[in-house]
């Protein structure tokens, strides 16, 4: 059998040869930017020469700190094509988390958008592996305050367009993403070329996301979040048109892009689509050619699914996934047996989080590790394994114990029906999912209890129409030094967290005592009944 290596440059070459006139569309502050896959290929070659000039070698980690746009997509291909590893930094993390991630990854260069660069300034002098910053979309890179600093387009203009592509093995690393750091420091997940190409092949199956060359894909899911859910790679493989929204993600802009660009498929967390629905109901109009929306990051209310199906003819489909599993698993697909069910029963299936996809396996176990039946009732921890999934964490052998006996122990509690559709029933370790991102209740509790005058604190989630969940802190005070206003506590913990991770003043609740279990732990079940 011929030994053909599954690598990302093969997708790049396919896009150049088979779909040279297909457009890549970016929504930038200065307006819509368009160019073709032929143009894209030439700029990727230039960028490879830029990277070589910066001293990037095979195996080096090159970081991005950027929105979804064409320059970020160029890095998606140029860095792995050299045999280096693209490390997408989460722009929503606090400086302390970013510092840990950059140092753990030992990034050599950071490519950053000009408007995001100020978030990196606090890291100066604390990330010794970084040799330079390259600023994208800046009139004056020096004005960012970063150093040493270079300008992306200046480097590109001076680079040759012909590039040499080295031989790369399919099992070599190509991408690095970190978890959100919900329990302790964020953990790195290293992906191989093979895993990403196989994910594209699986995602491109008809009985899956139903992608074709005729699709126009609005990539709302951030490119720093699980490789943009694979959309930058899928578009090149299939020849579909990517539409990249940039930094502007308000409902009005998204609806405009959907209509004007003829978008047929898009994605994102539920809060995005709650906002879009509210906007449509207030301003009227339709969603043009839009057919399908893939939603991940949090469970989707059945009412939201039904509203899009009924009022706009758009199918919202959930898909479960983690950073450790690469792009999310297969969304629910109606099988022939399910098609015969009454409409109400078919709609009820849409509550499920995902379906077991090709080349992956799941099982559900109880606390003793005993496998549970797929009867839609038994609930236990979800274990997964498959072709696109990690085998451990980067530079973190202790945390890699979550990968035991060849299975990833997700910590999510699920039930599975006889069709292989599973539903997330609970959030492990009391995590809070807000806007598709995790917030650690334990981290918030520890920070609040470090405030003078605070005796105890327990944090739970409350439902939120826009963000799905928000943290609520129950706080027991002690002594005369106790803070008197919620704002005092927020000010105390703010340096440790990103702004979106903080509870609002209305969600700091002073109480006389906290309920406890028989072993002295905070009884969060009781607290949840109060929110």
Kindly list the catalytic residues: 179, 324, 433, 438
Q: How far apart are CA 75 and CA 158, in angstroms?
A: 17
User: 219: helix, coil or strand?
Assistant: coil
What are the tokens at 383? 């274990």
Q: How far apart are CA 144 and CA 364, in angstroms?
A: 49
Residue 138 contacts by C-beta under 8 Å, 6 or more apart in sequence? 114, 117, 144, 151
Q: Which residue has the tokens 């290929």?
A: 41
Cα dihedral 125, 130, 131, 133, rounded to 10, equals -90
CA triplet 286, 291, 296: central angle to 5 degrees? 105
Element (H, E) at 75: helix 70-81
Q: How far apart are CA 325 and CA 512, in angstroms?
A: 43
Distance of alpha carbon 52 from the chain centroid: 29
Residue 120 contacts by C-beta under 8 Å, 6 or more apart in sequence? 65, 98, 110, 112, 133, 146
Distance of alpha carbon 279 from the chain centroid: 24
Name which of 257, 273, 291 is nearest 25 in CA terms: 257
Q: Which residue has the tokens 């003078």?
A: 452
Distances in whole angstroms, Cα of residue 508 to Cα of each of 448, 464, 487, 493, 526: 10, 15, 9, 12, 17
DSSP secondary structure letters along 410-427 = EEEEEEE-TTSEEEEEE-
Q: How far apart are CA 492 and CA 484, in angstroms?
A: 13
Distances in whole angstroms, Cα of residue 261 to Cα of each of 25, 67, 152, 215, 258: 9, 19, 27, 11, 6
Q: How far apart are CA 322 and CA 433, in angstroms?
A: 13
Burial of 120 (0-12, 13-18, 19+ CB in 10 A): buried
Name which of 290, 343, 344 is nearest 317 in CA terms: 290
């Amino acid at each position: 059998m011929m030994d053909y290596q599954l690598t990302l440059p093969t997708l790049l070459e396919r896009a150049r040869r088979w779909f040279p006139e297909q457009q890549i569309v970016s929504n930038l502050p200065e307006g819509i930017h368009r160019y073709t896959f032929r143009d894209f290929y030439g700029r990727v070659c230039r960028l490879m020469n830029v990277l070589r000039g910066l001293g990037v070698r095979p195996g080096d980690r090159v970081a991005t700190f950027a929105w979804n746009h064409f320059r970020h997509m160029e890095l998606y291909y140029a860095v792995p094509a050299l045999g280096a590893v693209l490390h997408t930094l989460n722009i929503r993390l606090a400086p302390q988390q970013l510092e840990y991630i950059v140092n753990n990854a030992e990034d050599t260069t950071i490519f950053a958008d000009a408007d995001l660069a100020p978030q990196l300034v606090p890291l100066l002098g604390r990330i010794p592996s970084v040799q330079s910053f390259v600023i994208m979309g800046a009139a004056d890179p020096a004005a960012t305050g970063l150093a040493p600093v270079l300008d992306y387009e200046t480097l590109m203009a001076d680079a040759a367009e012909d590039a040499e592509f080295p031989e790369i093995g399919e099992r070599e690393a190509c991408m690095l993403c970190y978890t959100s750091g919900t329990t302790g420091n964020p953990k790195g997940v290293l992906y191989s070329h093979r895993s990403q190409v196989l994910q594209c092949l699986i995602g491109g199956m008809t009985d899956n996301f139903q992608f074709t060359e005729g699709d126009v894909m609005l990539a709302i899911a951030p490119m720093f979040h699980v490789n943009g859910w694979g959309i930058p790679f899928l578009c090149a493989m299939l020849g579909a048109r990517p539409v990249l929204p940039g930094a502007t993600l308000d409902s009005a802009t998204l609806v405009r892009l959907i209509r004007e660009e003829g978008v047929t498929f898009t994605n994102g967390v539920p809060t995005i689509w709650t906002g879009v629905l509210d906007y449509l109901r207030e301003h009227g109009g339709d969603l043009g050619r839009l057919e399908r929306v893939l939603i991940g990051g949090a469970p989707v209310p059945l009412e939201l699914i039904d509203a899009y199906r009924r009022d706009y003819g758009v199918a919202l489909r959930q898909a479960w996934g983690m950073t450790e599993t690469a792009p999310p698993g297969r969304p629910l697909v109606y099988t022939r047996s399910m098609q015969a069910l009454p409409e109400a029963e078919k709609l009820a299936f849409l509550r499920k989080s995902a379906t077991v996809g090709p080349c992956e396996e799941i099982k559900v176990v109880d606390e003793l590790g005993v496998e549970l039946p797929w009867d839609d009732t038994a609930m236990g921890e979800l274990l997964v394994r498959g072709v696109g999934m990690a085998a451990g964490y980067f530079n973190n052998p202790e945390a890699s114990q979550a990968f035991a006996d060849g299975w990833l122990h997700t910590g999510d509690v699920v039930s599975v029906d006889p069709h292989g559709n599973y539903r997330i029933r609970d959030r492990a370790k009391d995590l809070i999912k807000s806007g598709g991102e995790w917030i650690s209740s334990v981290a918030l509790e520890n920070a609040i209890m470090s405030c003078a005058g605070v005796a105890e604190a327990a944090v739970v989630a409350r439902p939120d129409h826009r963000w799905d969940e928000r943290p609520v802190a129950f706080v027991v005070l002690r002594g005369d030094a106790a803070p008197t206003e919620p704002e005092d506590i927020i000010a105390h913990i703010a340096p440790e967290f990103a702004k979106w991770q903080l509870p609002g003043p209305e969600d700091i609740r002073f109480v006389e005592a906290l309920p406890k279990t028989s072993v002295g732990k905070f009884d969060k079940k009781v607290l949840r009944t109060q929110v």
